[in-house]
């Protein structure tokens, strides 16, 4: 009996915490996770996913514009990613006459595909473990406080030395990079190939690509066709080259087959992409810090700002357009912070981490390894010592720098003052361009001084309520001295008297520039004071960096040593990873269950012609009424839109290909549910879901809605 219990206990201990947890390194997949993937249904060999020698699925996946993922879907370099990932490019090509954001865009021939200066995509050619090499090099480092072990500059120089000049020179577009993993306990070198001629091929209208907008963002059930289409171009030899008319579509090493078979609950699903950042190795003190400082400040301050913004947006359609992108950016991180704190509480992450720490301390004690308990003590002290500074920095950042736009007025006025003093005409006109440019930025198409003023009044009052006077930027003393503490009067004063306050003020200054006006300008003094405070806080906080990095590295090392048998994936760091799981719905609350798949039915249910977020284009309604779904419909005749899966994804995974057990493309990842964002700290098997647009909806929109069916001819569709 005892034996059985022991065996059982051993079996339970060796079970992974949650089967779907993890963002895995492709080069380690075979020994780490391949067997488990097969158990869940994968039909491919490990080499089909990743092979150092032959072409494999990883060769069809690119890092898109540094922050998203995209996948190659044809032998002519056609790329799929999200609408929100291509948003900047779509916006840049849009004019009032050709508003591609509103109406969508489809290049009807290759000549009409639109170039995007600055946009690049990167393939990962090779992934190598270079831990021994880096550690040997680091031994030459004699400075005990050196942070070379995490320094991108230092590590990339090592990478260049390893690859050799000749290799880099003979291979256009090729670069190498060494990245630290597990806080600097392991190192991988990535050989990358970057293409910089990437053209826009197509995008649905925002009423499809951004359907549900901010209200639906981070939520399931979802009904967004969040995709856009690009194409990679290369020179005649297939090499990366800057944009040129003579460039030709890239013939890639690998492109994905596309499945028309669809997905069902519990089907195997995996995605390859470039997740940005997770915090799996947080200590309990950092969880508390994140919850009570970072997230709490963000939630409080953004709520305030968004309320003012939304009020103004609802009153005036002109303001709504000007502020919609800012509003969206603000709520995106705001909703994420709410979900993060919800999960921290709901799953008691602090307690979970505390137990992990206690476990480590006990194990280290038994093993006589004092460095790990020491690292924990150091962490606790660092987090406690930086508490006040961190709170002040977050308040300044969220409460003022990111929310009051005139706080970004140029703060360096010395050169201009010099030119005014010297009465040097050419120099003066050159220097005047600085405030002029800044002023024009304030007057540009996504700003309103009236709205900024209202936001500033709300934010400043809240900031002053929460931060003691002695810890505020020095110039804020004026508020008590001259305005009896009334922040509204102070803000009015800034606008009335600053050269940036109004056209009249700016023009007066421009026609008769004076050093006195510049030096006494209240808005410039305000901005200067904030910049100084920001710098001082940052510098003070940087004082903790070396000790923090060293304690974190040691803590992670201890955990890895203690849990040798367990596979601990490294935190996401924008390097290529694979995550797998199943298509699955979830129960958000008692007695409620969300299905794993949404359909066009739901788009129609959400339709609201009065609300820009939920307008449904007429053509889509016609297709719906006629049930003209072609070969893209489900077996029971419905049009699939999105599905949810247990894959462990995060920001940066947007645009990632979602593949079935045969490695065929079944969807494009674009979001997570808000109940799942806490997975950046600790995976939540029962709550966390990736939100994925069904590839059949993507093809349906291209073919039936946009009449761009010709693009499907270059894809390999599997019925
Ligand atoms: N929440 C997703 C992400 O973090 C989508 C953001 C874009 N969509 C939006 N409505 N803001 O990137
Ligand atoms: N929407 C995110 C992105 O753009 C994905 C996520 O956070 O799950 O990468």
pLDDT score of 416 more than 50: yes
pLDDT tens by residue, 502-512: 889 999 999 99
Query: Tell me, what's the pLDDT at 646?
Result: 98
> CA-to-CA distance for 216 and 224, rounded, in angstroms?
9
Arithmetic mean of pLDDT, 655-682: 98
pLDDT tens by residue, 678-691: 999 999 999 999 99
DSSP 485: T
Range with the poorest average pLDDT among 14-28, 201-215, 265-279, 679-693: 14-28
Angle separating helix axes 387-396 and 522-542, nearest 10 degrees: 150
Which two tokens mark 654? 């947007």
Residue 379 sits at the vertex; the CA angle it makes with 375 and 383, to the nearest 5 degrees, is: 170
Strands 577-582 and 24-25: antiparallel
Name the phi and psi angles at 254, rounded to 5.
-150, 145
Q: Return all residues near 375 (Cβ < 8 A) that are at least 6 apart.
A: 550, 551, 552, 554, 555, 558
pLDDT score of 266 more than 50: yes
pLDDT score of 38 more than 70: yes
**Contact 276 CB / ligand 1 (< 6 Å):** no
**Given this structure, which CATH class describes domain 17-120+196-275+574-719?**
mainly beta
Distance 699 CA to ligand 2 centre (A): 22
Nearest to 208 by CA among 715, 693, 712: 693
pLDDT tens by residue, 356-396: 999 999 999 999 999 999 999 999 999 999 999 999 999 99
> CA-to-CA distance for 578 and 466, rounded, in angstroms?
43
Nearest to 64 by CA among 82, 51, 50: 82
> CA-to-CA distance for 613 and 606, rounded, in angstroms?
10
pLDDT score of 708 more than 50: yes
Query: Tell me, what's the pLDDT at 16?
Result: 43
* pLDDT bucket at 153, cuts 50 / 70 / 90: very high
- Report which of residues 438 and 335 the model is more confident about: 335
Kindly give the residue spans of alpha helices, DSSP state H, lying in 409-474.
414-422, 425-442, 449-466
**Contact 671 CB / ligand 1 (< 6 Å):** yes
Task: Tally Cβ neighbours within 10 Å of residue 154.
Answer: 18
Can you say whether the dihedral through the CA atoms of 6, 8, 11, 16 is positive or negative? negative
Contact of 366 with 565, CB cutoff 8 Å: no
pLDDT score of 545 more than 50: yes
Atom of ligand 2 nearest to the CA of 68: 9
Query: Tell me, what's the pLDDT at 524?
Result: 96
* pLDDT bucket at 13, cuts 50 / 70 / 90: very low
Arithmetic mean of pLDDT, 147-165: 97
pLDDT score of 443 more than 50: yes
Can you say whether the dihedral through the CA atoms of 292, 298, 301, 303 is positive or negative? negative
By three-state DSSP, how is residue 508 classified? Answer: helix
Q: Return all residues near 196 (Cβ < 8 A) that are at least 6 apart.
A: 119, 120, 173, 240, 241, 242, 243
Query: Tell me, what's the pLDDT at 7?
Result: 46
Residue nearest to atom 7 of ligand 2 (CA): 651
**Contact 213 CB / ligand 1 (< 6 Å):** yes
pLDDT score of 328 more than 60: yes
Query: Tell me, what's the pLDDT at 11?
Result: 44
Range with the poorest average pLDDT among 103-112, 159-168, 436-445: 436-445
Share of the chain above pLDDT 90, in %: 89
Distance 463 CA to ligand 2 centre (A): 30
pLDDT score of 2 more than 70: no
Distance 553 CA to ligand 1 centre (A): 32
Query: Tell me, what's the pLDDT at 6?
Result: 47
> CA-to-CA distance for 167 and 155, rounded, in angstroms?
18
Arithmetic mean of pLDDT, 184-192: 98
Arithmetic mean of pLDDT, 80-95: 93
pLDDT score of 475 more than 80: yes
Instruction: Parse the chain into domains and list their residue ranges.
Output: 17-120+196-275+574-719, 284-557
Query: Tell me, what's the pLDDT at 670?
Result: 98
Q: Which helix (H) or strand (E) holds 154?
A: helix 152-163
Query: Tell me, what's the pLDDT at 19?
Result: 73
Q: Which ligand is nearest to the CA of 67?
A: 2
pLDDT score of 5 more than 80: no
Contact of 345 with 287, CB cutoff 8 Å: no
By three-state DSSP, how is residue 282 classified? Answer: coil
The mean of the pLDDT values for the chain is: 95
By three-state DSSP, how is residue 587 classified? Answer: coil
Query: Tell me, what's the pLDDT at 318?
Result: 84
pLDDT score of 531 more than 50: yes
186 beta partners: 181
Share of the chain above pLDDT 70, in %: 97
pLDDT score of 674 more than 70: yes
Q: Which ligand is nearest to the CA of 216?
A: 1
Distance 270 CA to ligand 2 centre (A): 16
Pocket perturbation via mutation, ligand 1, pick of 218, 332, 613 by most ligand atoms within 8 A of CB: 332
**Residues with a known catalytic role:** 84, 226, 654
Nearest to 461 by CA among 507, 542, 544, 404: 404
């Amino acid at each position: 009996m005892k034996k059985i219990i022991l065996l059982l206990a051993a079996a339970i201990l060796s079970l992974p915490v949650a089967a779907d947890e993890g963002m895995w390194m492709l080069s380690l997949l075979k020994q780490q996770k391949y067997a488990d993937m097969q158990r869940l249904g994968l039909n491919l060999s490990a080499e089909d996913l990743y092979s150092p020698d032959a072409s494999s699925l990883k060769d069809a996946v690119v890092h898109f514009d540094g922050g998203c993922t995209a996948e190659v879907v044809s032998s002519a370099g056609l790329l799929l990613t999200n609408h929100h990932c291509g948003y900047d490019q779509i916006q840049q090509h849009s004019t009032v006459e050709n508003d591609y954001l509103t109406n969508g865009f489809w290049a009807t021939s290759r000549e009409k595909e639109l170039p995007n200066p600055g946009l690049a995509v990167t393939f990962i050619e090779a992934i190598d473990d270079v831990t021994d090499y880096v550690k040997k090099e680091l031994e030459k480092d004699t400075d005990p406080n050196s942070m070379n072990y995490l320094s991108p500059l230092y590590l990339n120089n090592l990478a260049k030395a390893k690859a050799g000049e000749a290799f880099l020179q003979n291979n256009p577009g090729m670069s190498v990079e060494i990245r630290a993993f597990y806080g600097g306990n392991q190192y991988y070198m990535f050989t990358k190939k970057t293409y910089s001629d990437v053209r826009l091929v197509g995008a649905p209208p925002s009423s499809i690509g951004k359907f549900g907008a901010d209200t639906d963002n981070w939520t399931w059930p979802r009904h967004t066709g969040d995709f856009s289409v690009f194409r990679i171009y290369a020179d005649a030899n297939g090499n990366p080259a800057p944009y040129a008319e003579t460039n030709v579509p890239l013939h890639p090493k690998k492109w994905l087959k596309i499945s028309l078979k669809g997905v069902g609950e519990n089907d195997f699903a995996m995605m390859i992409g470039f997740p940005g950042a997770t915090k799996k190795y947080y200590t309990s003190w950092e969880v508390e810090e994140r919850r009570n400082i970072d997230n709490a400040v963000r939630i409080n301050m953004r709520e305030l700002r968004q309320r003012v913004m939304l009020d103004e947006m609802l009153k005036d359609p002109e303001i709504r357009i000007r502020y919609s992108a800012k509003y969206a950016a603000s709520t995106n991180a705001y909703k994420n912070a709410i979900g993060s704190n919800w999960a921290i509480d709901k799953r008691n992450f602090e307690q979970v981490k505390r137990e992990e720490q206690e476990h480590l301390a006990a194990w280290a004690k038994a093993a006589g390894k004092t460095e790990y308990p020491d690292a924990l003590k150091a962490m606790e002290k660092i987090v406690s010592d930086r508490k006040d500074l961190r709170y002040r920095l977050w308040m300044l950042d969220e409460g003022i720098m990111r929310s009051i736009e005139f706080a970004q007025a140029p703060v360096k006025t010395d050169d201009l003052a010099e030119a005014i003093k010297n009465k040097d005409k050419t120099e003066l006109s050159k220097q005047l361009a600085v405030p002029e440019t800044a002023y024009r930025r304030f007057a540009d198409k996504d700003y309103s001084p009236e709205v900024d003023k209202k936001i500033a009044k709300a934010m400043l009052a809240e900031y002053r309520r929460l931060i003691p006077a002695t810890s505020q930027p020095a110039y804020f003393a004026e508020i008590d001295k001259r305005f009896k503490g009334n922040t509204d009067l102070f803000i009015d004063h800034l606008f009335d008297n600053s050269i940036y306050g109004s056209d009249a003020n700016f023009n007066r200054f421009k026609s008769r520039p004076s050093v006195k006006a510049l030096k006494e300008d209240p808005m410039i003094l305000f901005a200067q004071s904030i910049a100084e405070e920001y710098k001082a806080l940052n510098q003070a906080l940087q004082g903790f960096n070396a000790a923090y990095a060293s304690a974190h590295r040691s803590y992670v090392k201890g955990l890895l040593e203690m849990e040798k048998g367990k596979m601990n994936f490294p935190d996401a760091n924008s390097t290529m990873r694979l995550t797998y799981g199943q298509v699955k719905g979830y129960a958000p609350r008692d007695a409620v269950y969300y299905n794993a798949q949404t359909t066009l039915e739901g788009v129609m249910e959400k339709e609201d012609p009065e609300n820009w977020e939920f307008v449904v284009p007429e053509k889509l309604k016609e297709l719906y009424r006629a049930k003209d779904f072609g070969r893209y419909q489900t077996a029971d005749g419905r049009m699939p839109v999105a599905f949810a899966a247990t894959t462990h994804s995060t920001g940066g995974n947007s645009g990632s290909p979602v593949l079935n057990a045969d490695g065929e493309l079944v969807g494009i990842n674009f979001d997570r549910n808000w109940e799942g964002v806490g997975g950046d700290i600790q995976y939540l098997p029962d709550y966390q879901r990736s939100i994925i647009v069904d590839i059949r909806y993507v093809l349906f929109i291209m073919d039936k809605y946009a009449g761009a069916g010709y693009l499907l001819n270059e894809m390999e569709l599997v019925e």
